Homo-oligomer: A and B are copies of this chain.
């Protein structure tokens, strides 16, 4: 298991924690200088909060850093980052994102790439299955989370 896999496992554990709480199973970990400085997961259900996706919750929990510190960071997330989370990554100049899977949802990867962010896709089957099962069970909650009109 390489370092990226170790950090990604921490994000996956956050996704599973969210699922146990009755929430949307997406998790994230922020790593600076090979140290996990924050963990987070989607808290739409748990806190009725539309801005707490896994990545934003993680950046929040990590606390305040200078721009210089964020420029040494990697964001680990179980799911391809949406427009909000990608924008947050761009705002702070986080240069690298490790993505668990992008089969259930492909976020703003092109925007990130075109702004020089390095993307690493892990294609993690376990977390893909966890989210796929959730989306099948709760489509209306999933649509709310990604701003998609219900069918």
What is the minimal beta-carbon distance from A54 to any residue of chain B, in angstroms? 12
**Interface segment out of the listed A4-12, A13-21, A66-74, A125-133:** A66-74
CB distance from A24 to the nearest CB of B (A): 12
Instruction: Report whether B150 and A66 are in contact in the complex, using a CB–CB cutoff of 8 Å.
Output: yes
- Say how many copies of this protein the assembly contains: 2
| A147 interface neighbour in B50, B60, B70, Cβ under 8 Å | B70
Interface hits, A10-63 → B, CB 8 Å:
44, 48-52, 56, 59-60, 62-63
Say yes or no: is A102 at the interface (Cβ < 8 Å to chain B). no
In the assembled complex, the Cα of A1 lies from the Cα of B59 at a distance in Å of 40
Please, how many angstroms separate the alpha-carbon atoms of A82 and B87 in the complex?
Answer: 8
Contact B87 A64 (CB under 8 A): no
| A149 CA / B93 CA spacing, docked (Å) | 10
18 further contact pairs, Cβ within 8 A, besides A51-B88, A66-B144: A44-B64, A50-B60, A50-B65, A50-B92, A67-B144, A67-B148, A67-B150, A83-B91, A84-B84, A84-B88, A84-B90, A84-B91, A85-B87, A86-B87, A87-B87, A87-B90, A91-B146, A111-B111
